[in-house]
């Protein structure tokens, strides 16, 4: 088992690049390490936090407990007719999994190209982009249940996947540690280019019948041009979720703001673009000390230098307040705050 280190800096373990320290820190390289770790009663009762790539986390202070970084490697696959089961360790970099699949013609994850982070974290917020969510390709995952001291298999119906949401963010938060995920992909691609940005980019390149490689490449290029690269500017992607409201609320808002950016969802609800709400509240490109909203997408908060996690949090509070005053909508943070 990997040793337990003390007073470890988390600065290079979170993509916001904020400074914070873990009282204790360990890495897990194989599933069996978890039962060895929790055989020690000290860790069963201790405050603990599991991390992958730290790309959806904001540390606002030091963590006075044990941080467990998941580093289980390995990708394998098994073809059965037109379907493929791809199995990956929790520590596999998400985009490495996407490339593994795209290179082999395994369709389903191409729209999720270049999302930072690890495979183990992907079910936690049911990652999504460009009209595809993890739940669309999720077969099952294995997770170590700390209290029970055993590994459990979770099927889709056990995970309560929702919009950027799952059971792992609620009842099972810090109770289970995902050790691997199995994805159900297809050799028969159903290309999803419902998002205008992908369609436009394919049109510009005169690609009429795109394959999964085309979609993956286009998504990758759009993302590079639009989003700040965490290796050069600290951020955790979208800071807030897009709010989903009912039709009645929407009609009211639309009369006050006729150009409001929105998407009608199947169950008579409407999704609003949080980035638009933030922009219209006067926050696009705004900077306070070392914290700012990203110039190309106001939904992304960036650390332009050496912002403290608490400053980034306070900045987000101000945004919530102003959006609420203008639109009577309370933005919910997508980023996990500690
Ligand atoms: P971490 O940030 O380390 O952890 C996130 C949460 O998951 C924490 O609560 C943690 O405790 C928990 N967790 C992590 N690993 C495990 C595990 N093995 N078992 C149990 N719990 C665990 N997200 C999207 O959905 N779509 C996007 O398009 C997208 N784009 C992004 C773009 C940028 C530039 C950035 C910086 C982030 C983006 N994100 C996006 C957010 C982020 O990449 C995802 O949420 C990703 O899944 C986080 O993975 P991670 O390994 O970094 O998780
Ligand atoms: P965008 O294309 O400018 O669109 C703005 C918002 O409108 C998005 O948040 C998206 O919602 C929604 N939208 C756009 N077209 C839609 C359609 N055809 N149907 C339904 N909803 C639509 O967004 P962007 O910032 O460049 O991001 C592109 C994609 O990458 C989005 O899916 C976004 O979620 C994802 N992304 C996520 C993060 C993150 O950290 N979570 C960071 C960067 C990008 P959805 O967000 O619900 O898709």
Per-residue pLDDT of the chain (338 residues; tens, 9 = 90+): 678 999 999 999 999 999 999 999 999 999 999 999 999 888 988 899 999 999 999 999 999 999 999 999 999 999 999 999 999 999 999 999 999 999 999 999 999 999 999 999 999 999 999 999 999 999 999 999 999 999 999 999 999 999 999 999 999 998 999 999 999 999 998 999 999 899 999 999 999 999 999 999 999 999 999 999 999 999 999 999 999 999 999 999 999 999 999 999 988 999 999 999 999 999 998 999 999 999 999 999 999 999 999 999 999 999 999 999 999 999 999 999 99
Record the pTM.
0.96
- The set of protein residues with a Cβ atom below 6 angstroms from ligand 2 is 128-130, 194-197, 226-227, 237-238, 242, 263, 271, 273, 275, 297, 334
What's residue 197's pLDDT? 93
Ligand 1 centre to CA of 55 (Å) is 5
Residue 189 contacts residue 212 (beta carbons within 8 Å): yes
What's residue 1's pLDDT? 67
Ligand 2 centre to CA of 102 (Å) is 21
Ligand 2 centre to CA of 130 (Å) is 6
For residue 296, the number of C-alpha atoms closer than 13 Å in the C-beta half-sphere is 9
Q: Which residues are catalytic?
A: 164, 238, 334
Which residue minimizes the CA distance to atom 32 of ligand 2?
Answer: 129
Q: Which atom from ligand 1 is nearest to the alpha carbon of 129?
A: 28
Which domains are delineated in the chain? 5-70 (3.30.43.10), 75-186 (3.30.465.10), 234-337 (3.90.78.10)
Among all ligands shown, which has an atom nearest to the Cα of 241?
Answer: 2
Q: Which atom from ligand 1 is nearest to the alpha carbon of 56?
A: 2
**How many whole angstroms separate alpha carbon 51 and alpha carbon 68?**
6
Residue 327 contacts residue 257 (beta carbons within 8 Å): yes
**Which residues, 6 or more positions from 272, have their beta carbon under 8 angstroms from its beta carbon?**
242, 243, 244, 245, 253, 260, 261, 262, 329
The helix or strand, by DSSP H or E, that contains position 312, with its residue range, turns out to be: helix 309-327
CA 196 to chain centre: 22
Ligand 2 centre to CA of 114 (Å) is 14
């Amino acid at each position: 088992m990997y040793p337990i280190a003390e007073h470890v800096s988390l600065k290079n373990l979170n993509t916001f690049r904020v400074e914070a320290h873990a009282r204790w820190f360990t890495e897990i390289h194989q599933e069996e390490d978890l039962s060895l770790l929790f055989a020690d009663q000290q860790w069963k009762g201790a405050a603990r936090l599991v991390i992958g790539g730290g790309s959806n986390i904001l540390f606002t202070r030091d963590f006075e407990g044990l941080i467990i970084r998941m580093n289980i490697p390995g990708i394998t696959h098994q073809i059965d007719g037109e379907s493929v089961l791809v199995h990956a360790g929790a520590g596999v970099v998400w985009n490495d999994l996407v490339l593994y699949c795209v290179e082999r013609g395994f369709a389903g994850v191409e729209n999720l190209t270049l999302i930072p982070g690890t495979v183990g974290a992907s079910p936690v917020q049911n990652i999504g982009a460009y009209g595809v969510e993890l739940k669309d390709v999720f077969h099952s995952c294995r997770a170590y249940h700390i209290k029970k001291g055993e590994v459990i298999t979770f099927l889709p119906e056990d995970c309560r996947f929702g919009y950027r949401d799952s059971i792992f963010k609620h009842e099972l938060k810090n109770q289970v540690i995902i050790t691997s995920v199995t994805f159900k992909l297809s050799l028969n691609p159903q290309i999803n280019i419902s998002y205008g940005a992908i369609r436009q980019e394919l049109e510009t390149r005169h690609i009429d019948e795109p394959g999964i490689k085309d979609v993956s490449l286009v998504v990758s290029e759009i993302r590079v041009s639009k989003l700040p690269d965490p290796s050069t500017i600290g951020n955790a992607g979208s800071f807030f979720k897009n709010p989903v409201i009912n039709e009645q609320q929407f009609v009211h808002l639309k009369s006050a703001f006729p150009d409001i950016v929105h998407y009608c969802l199947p169950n008579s609800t409407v999704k609003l673009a949080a980035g638009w709400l933030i922009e219209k509240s006067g926050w696009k490109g705004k900077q306070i000390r070392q914290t700012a909203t990203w110039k190309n997408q106001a939904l992304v908060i960036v650390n332009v230098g050496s912002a403290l996690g608490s400053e980034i949090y306070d900045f987000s509070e101000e945004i919530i307040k102003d959006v609420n005053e203008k639109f009577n909508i309370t933005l919910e943070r997508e980023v996990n705050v500690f």
